[in-house]
C-alpha cells in the first residue's frame, strides 16, 4: 500500500531518482504504508480490509523537504508535516488481516525513497550531490493505492481507496 503523491514539482524528485534509484521508471515516487509481501489473498479481501480500516480517515496535508541517508544505504526525502497521519495509516493497515505481515525489526519512518546503494561510498557521493537540494513538496493526501509488483520490478495499481471527509 502506498501514497503516490502528485506534487506539482514532481519532476525535481524524478531528477534525483533518475540518478540514484534503480526503481526510477518502474515505480512512481511513493510513500510506502505497507511493505511488499507475498500472499494468495484475493484482491477483494485485501480491498475490503483497506476500506474498513480507513473508515473515518480524512484527507490531510503533507510537506516533504530535505534529503538524508539511512544506515542501510538509502536516500530519503523526508516527511516534515503529516508524519503522524501517515503513521496512523500504516498502523491501521497493519491491523487485523495484515498484522502477520508487519516486520517489527524496523521502526516505521514515513519517507519517499530517492536513492538506493550497495556501497557506502556511492551513498556519500549521492549525499554530496544532493546537499543543496532545498525543494519543498506539498500536497493533500486523498487516497491510498495498492499495487502488484511484477518480477521485473514494474508495478501495476491493483486498487485505490479514497479518504473521505467526515
**Which residues are catalytically annotated?**
30, 111
Rounded Cα gap, residues 59 and 140, in angstroms: 6
Burial 144-159, CB ≥16 within 10 A → b, else e: bbbbeeeeeeebeeee
Q: How far apart are the first and last CA of the chain?
A: 22
Rounded Cα gap, residues 13 and 122, in angstroms: 19
Q: Is 84 exposed, middle or buried (0-12, 13-18, 19+ CB in 10 A)?
A: exposed
Amino acid at each position: 500500500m502506498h501514497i503516490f503523491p502528485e506534487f506539482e514539482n514532481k519532476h525535481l524528485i524524478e531528477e534525483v531518482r533518475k540518478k540514484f534509484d534503480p526503481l526510477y521508471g518502474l515505480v512512481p515516487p511513493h510513500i510506502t504504508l505497507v511493505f511488499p509481501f507475498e500472499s494468495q489473498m484475493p484482491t477483494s479481501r485485501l480491498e475490503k480490509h483497506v476500506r474498513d480500516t480507513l473508515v473515518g480517515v480524512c484527507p490531510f496535508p503533507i510537506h516533504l523537504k530535505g534529503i538524508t541517508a539511512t544506515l542501510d544505504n538509502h536516500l530519503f526525502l523526508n516527511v516534515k508535516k503529516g508524519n503522524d497521519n501517515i503513521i496512523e495509516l500504516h498502523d491501521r493497515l497493519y491491523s487485523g488481516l495484515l498484522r502477520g505481515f508487519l516486520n517489527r525489526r524496523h521502526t516505521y519512518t514515513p519517507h519517499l525513497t530517492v536513492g538506493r546503494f550497495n556501497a557506502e561510498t556511492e551513498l556519500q557521493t549521492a549525499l554530496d550531490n544532493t546537499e543543496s537540494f532545498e525543494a519543498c513538496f506539498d500536497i493533500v493526501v486523498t487516497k491510498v493505492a495498492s499495487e502488484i509488483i511484477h518480477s521485473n520490478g514494474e508495478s501495476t495499481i491493483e486498487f485505490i481507496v479514497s479518504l473521505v471527509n467526515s
